[in-house]
A and B are shown apart, each in its own frame.
Chain A
Amino acid sequence: MKFFDKTEWSLLYALPVLIILLFALPTWLVNYVQVSMGMGLVALAVMIQMRAGLVSFGQGLYFCIGGYTAGMASKFWNISDIFVILVIAIVVTVAVSGILGFLLRRYREIFFAMLTLAVSMILFALLSSSHELGSTDGFNLPQASYLGWHPEGETGSTVLFILTAILTLACAILINRFLRGPIGKIIEAIRENELRVEYLGASAHVSVHVLYMIAATISAIGGVLWSMALGHVTPEMANWTTSGQFVFIVILAGTGNVFAPLVGTLILEVLRVYAVEISPNTWQMILGIVMLLTIVFLPKGLWSLFERFVKRLSSKEPAA
């Protein structure tokens, strides 16, 4: 077996492409690419849970934990080193998701969706009523530093972009590995028939638990990267509307490949930017129509378009 599969090679190739984009695209668009990577990781987390038939309507919980860890580390302990922040965020997330997993792994379908939503809304309510953390206004983050190096201004944003790209793609590769691995196969089987999985000797509960923790961890990494890029966190990150947006992205993009949610996030962001520009009063309607059309004509998401395109290419090649 080759060490990297096709998807992983593409993810590796995506890094230089992203770095070229950083210098080729206008700054405003680079900003959207950057925030899309942070949000894309959360969408990826929603996507892998959807593979198991679990719709998380509360992924904003870990997105918010990531963001607030970054914010609170700098606010209370004066830590702006992004690597330290990432470690703290991962530790906190693993602890929280490890505990919550014992509860959530027992539920499926609408019960899982509603419970994840409920837990996320608890954090939203707590943060909204905490005056020290700026309540719903949130608070601002300083510019990130890197192992004692404090780049300012343009250099700072460039470094953060490159780091965001590296981490996002690395997470995507690891998730791809995970999906190809034993648990990845089991979770798909869980979606098909959970009872049979148990008869085959695998534990559905343990698999869902691991899946939930992995999804939580990459969401928190996404939260750190997103909030460091924007420089501001609010409890809105844990609100169900934010979580709903991630579900929207996955439905739009499809669950076919780890690339899909990452690209889907960017497409949705750009779509939103132009929808607001075309019609500032009714831009949500444009997004809604796109959503409807996707569900009706591309039930497997935008990724299925790409798959069809690749299939047609490969079927033509031998003939030529």
Chain B
Amino acid sequence: MTKVSHLGTASRPLASTLALALALAPTTLLAQDAPAFKLGVVSFLSGGASGPFGVPSRNAAELIVDAINKGTLPAPYDTIGFAGTLVEPLFADEASKNVVADYQKLVQKDEVDGIVGYNSSGSCVAIAPEVEKLETLTVLSACGTSQIFEEIVTEPKYLFRAASHATMDNVAAARYVVEHTPEVVEKLSDIAGINQNYSWGFDSWRDFSASIQVLKEDVEIANEQFPKIFAGQYGAEISALLTARADVVHSSFWGGDLEALVIQGAGRGLFGRTQMVLTSSDTAIHRLGRQIPDGTIIGARGSYSIYAPQSELNDWFRQAYYDRYGVYPVHPAYQMANAVLGMKAAADKAGVGTEEAIIANLKGLSYEGPGGIVDMALADGHQAITGSAYGTYKFDTETGLGTVENIVTYKAECINPPADLTSQEWIKGGFVGADCE
């Protein structure tokens, strides 16, 4: 008896679910009429780079894709889907020993129509040849290395990158120091750097020190420190920098390492004694607030987050991101937004949301992102150049928020090499063809 009555009560919700499913069926059928554009989204979802980079980019992709499918983005992106084709995101973790095999799996098993993402240069270097081999539209959203199109894939067809490479950050930083901090430049004779001991740190320091030495004569390198990534303790390095008495100290630290450097360096007077230049520090502003000493030069790897220009798209992006995730978007989120919007812009231009149409139309395209214009100008229209901006930190005691002042924006053409030169040749040759007006 009990069993029967039990079954009776259980079948009621079952029946109502069935009825509900039947009622919903027509709408789901409608959505399936046109096959969706399957978009693989790859970023660090675990490990040390997930907090500062991976998760913000994943969130931005989720937010933008949802808005694209609902058609809630501001103009010119206010149409639904990639030219009407709905986008179905598929998230994957970049933290993997077999990043190439995972890429092949996304293409061959999940049969994605396009892939967007990748934070680390190491991953980008590894997958770049695979992209051309498997012939799948792939838009790299971040990874800083200039090698991708300069050395590895010299004739790209399927591979794009919607972000400038890291050379830009450091050329702009050097220009800002030399041209906009007169009191520092007057006595500038020695520079020093503290960067992490991996590609990003080495490349950043190489570009920054070379640029400064081109922009101002007789500048010596007083000291260069390359502590281990995720070290967290920089006592010895800070001592070395303090005794080196450099006029400018450059750092491309990010995430937790950056926060540790700021707290430990400010505590020991490093920031007061020298002009600090932090090229990737917008992510630290809302976390550290008043702990960042005023006067520190802050970079955001482009005209992103605090440096994003006023526009309807940017206002929407900041607000929507804040409403959904409780924080304002940082530069990795902007870069991902740029990459996804580039695909949409290309599809809308073609009028069809297919992989082929996006490949054909993204090439050489110039479109608007939340951080300003993205111009696919280099590498035969596959590598973006974007503008950048630098400013000086000022903590606003009234609002309790960190701000930047003396903001200088740089045009993409001013801080990126022309199409026919590699970054190193361009810097060493004295920035030939730089258009900074």
Q: Which of B98, B130, B133, B145 contacts A137 (CB 8 A)?
A: B145
Closest 9 CB pairs of A and B: A136-B198, A28-B108, A232-B126, A135-B199, A137-B199, A28-B105, A280-B91, A28-B109, A137-B122
Cα A280 to Cα B92 with chains together (Å): 6
- Do residues A234 and B109 form an inter-chain contact, with CB atoms below 8 A? no
**Contact flags (1/0) for B46-63 with A, using CB distance below 8 Å?**
100000000000000000
In the complex, 10 of the A-B residue pairs with CB atoms within 8 angstroms, ordered by the A residue number, are A26-B108, A28-B104, A32-B98, A32-B101, A136-B200, A137-B145, A139-B125, A230-B126, A231-B126, A280-B91
Partner of B122 from the list A28, A231, A234, A280 (CB cut-off 8 Å) is A234
Chain B 78-100, CB within 8 Å of chain A: the 1/0 string?
00000000000001110011101
Contact of B197 with A138 in the complex, beta carbons under 8 Å: no
Contact A140 B109, CB 8 Å, known A28-B104, A135-B202: no
Say yes or no: is B278 at the interface (Cβ < 8 Å to chain A).
Answer: no
Chain B 142-156 interface residues, beta-carbon cutoff 8 Å to A: 145, 147, 152
Does residue B45 face the partner (Cβ distance < 8 Å to A)? yes
**Interfacial chain B residues near A128, Cβ < 8 Å:** 197-198
User: Are B105 and A136 closer than 8 Å at their CB atoms?
Assistant: no
Question: In the complex, what residues of A have CB within 8 A of residue B130's CB?
Answer: 231
- A242 contacts B147, CB within 8 Å? no
Instruction: Digitize A97-137: 1 where CB-to-B-CB distance is under 8 Å, 0 elsewhere.
Output: 00000000000000000000000000001001101001111
CB of B128, distance to nearest CB on chain A (Å): 8
Task: Among B46, B97, B228, point to the contact of A236 (Cβ < 8 A).
Answer: B97
Q: Is the CB of B45 within 8 A of A281?
A: yes
Nearest residue in A to B50 (C-beta to C-beta)? Answer: A281
Within 8 A of B (CB), among A213-257: 230-232, 234, 236, 242, 245
Query: Which residues on B sit within 8 Å (CB–CB) of A245?
Result: 97
Q: Write the nearest CB–CB distance from A171 to chain B, whole angstroms.
A: 21
Q: A32-B105, A280-B92 are in contact. Are A140 and B129 (CB under 8 A)?
A: yes
- The answer on a CB contact under 8 Å between A230 and B100 is yes
A32 (CB) vs chain B CBs: closest residue: B101
| A310 → chain B closest CB, angstroms | 31
Tell yes or no: B226 within 8 A of A by CB: yes
For residue B129, which residues in chain A have a CB less than 8 angstroms away from its CB? 140, 231
Query: Assuming the A-B contacts A231-B100, A280-B92, are A138 and B105 also in contact, with contact meaning beta carbons closer than 8 angstroms in the complex?
Result: no
Chain B at the A interface: SS class: helix
Contacting residues, chain B, for A146 (C-beta < 8 A): none
When chains A and B are docked, how far (Å) is the Cα of A280 from the Cα of B61? 14
Decide if B97 touches A140 in the complex (CB within 8 Å).
no
Give the distance in Å from the alpha carbon of A64 to the alpha carbon of B26 in the complex.
Answer: 56
In this complex, what residue of B is CB-closest to A157? B133
Partner of B93, one of A129, A134, A236, A280: A280
What does the 1/0 interface line of A153-169 toward B look like (CB < 8 Å)? 10000000000000000
The answer to the question of A35 belonging to the interface, with a C-beta cut-off of 8 Å to chain B, is yes
Partner of B108, one of A27, A135, A140: A27
Q: What is the count of residue pairs linking A and B with beta-carbon distances less than 8 angstroms? A: 89
Contact with A along B201-228 (1 / 0, CB 8 A): 0100000000000000000000000101
**A205: shortest Cβ distance to chain B, in Å?**
34
Contact of A26 among B46, B109, B121 (CB under 8 A): B109
A269 at the interface (CB under 8 A from B): yes
Q: For residue B98, which residues in chain A have a CB less than 8 angstroms away from its CB?
A: 32, 35, 230, 269
Pick from A27, A138, A242: contact of B125, CB below 8 A.
A138
Cα–Cα, bound, A153→B130 (Å): 11
A23 to B100, CA, bound (A): 21
Give per-residue flags for B7-44: 1 if the beta carbon is below 8 A from chain A beta carbons, else 0. 00000000000000000000000000000000000000
Query: How long is the Cα–Cα vector from A125 to B197 in the complex, in angstroms?
Result: 9
The chain A residue with its CB closest to the CB of B134 is A27
* Chain B residue at minimal CB-CB distance from A241: B97
Q: Given the complex, which residues of B lie within 8 Å of A242, measured CB to CB?
A: 97
Within the assembled complex, what's the spacing in Å between the Cα atoms of A136 and B126? 12
**Contact assessment for A140 and B126 in the assembled complex, using a CB-CB cutoff below 8 Å:** yes
Q: List chain A residues, Cβ under 8 A from B46.
A: 281, 283-284
Q: Are A140 and B125 in contact (CB under 8 A)?
A: yes
User: Bound complex: CA of A138 vs CA of B105, how far in Å?
Assistant: 22
Chain A contacts with B in 28-47, Cβ cutoff 8 A: 28-29, 31-32, 35
Chain B residues with Cβ below 8 Å from A26 are 108-109
A276 an interface residue at 8 Å Cβ cutoff? yes
- Interface flags for A268-293 (1: CB within 8 Å of B; 0: not) read 01001100100011011000000000
Name the B residues within 8 Å of A136 (CB-CB).
Answer: 122, 198-200
Min CB gap B236→A, angstroms: 16
A284 and B46 CA atoms in complex are apart in Å by 9
Task: Report A-chain residues with C-beta under 8 Å of the C-beta of B109.
Answer: 26, 28-29
Interface string of B105-133 (1 = CB under 8 A from A): 10111000000000001100110111001
Please report the C-alpha to C-alpha distance between residue A6 and residue B97 in the assembled complex, in whole angstroms: 34
B226 touches A134 (CB 8 A): no
CA distance A35 to B101 in the complex (A): 8
